[in-house]
Structure 1
């Protein structure tokens, strides 16, 4: 395999993640995803022979891995530090895009799955959400939260952050994301100090 192949494939994935976070999966054809990444359509089908669902699943995993790495690094300092980093990541995404981009994982997760195909991209979104919840839950448990409470709180954090990102985009205002920050920190502090 030449050095160019991984870069071309990765460029297509990065471009797909960006377009999906802006337009959603239903609003993007394979041709759109290829064009957005600057790749020829033929190359896109070469790397992703199963088509749009395969490319979207890889784009979701790519975006999920970026956020996962941020969480893993920051959670070493505790769940509040992880929360702050997670919030900062999405805050930057929304602001830097002038409220035109959100989370590609959420964008794929809320779309109606295709009738005639395996919803590979939706499965990838579920895997990413589960990974984020698992990291947060483990950090909460490590700091003394009861296992059941840690799992519920981790789900709440992911759902609140993802939902507030969507609200920020709709309102063209960062306030929803800022509003949940203090509330989630309070809940985390209560869970780890009990």
Structure 2
């Protein structure tokens, strides 16, 4: 695969992740993703023979990896307050997008159907959430929490962040996010 093809392919994945965050799973099509990515439609079909399902699955994995890397960087920068740094970035993203930019993983989780073709999408969503939980759990264990406690707190943090993002978008207000912003750091204390 040529460098241009790889670059175009990556642009499609990133465009799909952005579109998922803005419009949800049902709000995107291959044609719209290709247009948003500024790539030829024919190349998009060639690079993603699995169609929209493949594009969305790869976008979920990419977006999940990006969020994990950002969270890891925040935790590495400040082991005590890294989650607050991460939350501040999420808060800024919400405010700067006027509550339009949600989480692409949640969008896919909510809108993926029950039919067979959604299996890959749901598996990708589950994997990303599991990766995030493991990342947070490992950090919490290093901070002195027991493994069961760390796993439960990590799951609560993820649910809190994702729920607050949805509520902020619904209410068009940062208040739900500020509520978790105040609570999550306290939960992380050993």
Interval of TM-score (by shorter of Structure 1 and Structure 2): over 0.9
Q: Deviations over 1:2-59 (max 9, x none)?
A: 2211111111111111111011111212212222212222111111110111100111
Which residue of structure 2 lines up, in the alignment, with residue 67 of structure 1?
67
Aligned-partner Cα distance in 2 for 1:156–1:68: 16
Moved over 3 A (4+): none
Which residue of structure 1 lines up, in the alignment, with residue 141 of structure 2?
141
RMSD: 1.4
Count of residue pairs brought into register by the alignment? 189
Whether 2:179 is the aligned partner of 1:174: answer no
TM-score by length of 2: 0.93
TM-score by length of 1: 0.91
Which residue of structure 2 lines up, in the alignment, with residue 165 of structure 1?
165
User: Any stretches of 5+ residues in structure 1 without a counterpart?
Assistant: none
Contact 1:53 1:119 in 2 (8 A): no
Contact 2:12 2:34 in 1 (8 A): yes
**In 2 relative to 1, CA 99–43 (structure 1 residues): closer, same or farther, beyond 3 Å?**
same
User: Any stretches of 5+ residues in structure 2 without a counterpart?
Assistant: none
Contact 1:70 1:85 in 2 (8 A): no
Whether 2:176 is the aligned partner of 1:186: answer no
Aligned 1:2-17 pairs, distance under 5 A: 2-17=2-17
Counting helix residues as a fraction of each chain, which structure ranks higher? 2
**In 2 relative to 1, CA 123–116 (structure 1 residues): closer, same or farther, beyond 3 Å?**
closer
Aligned-partner Cα distance in 2 for 1:43–1:143: 48
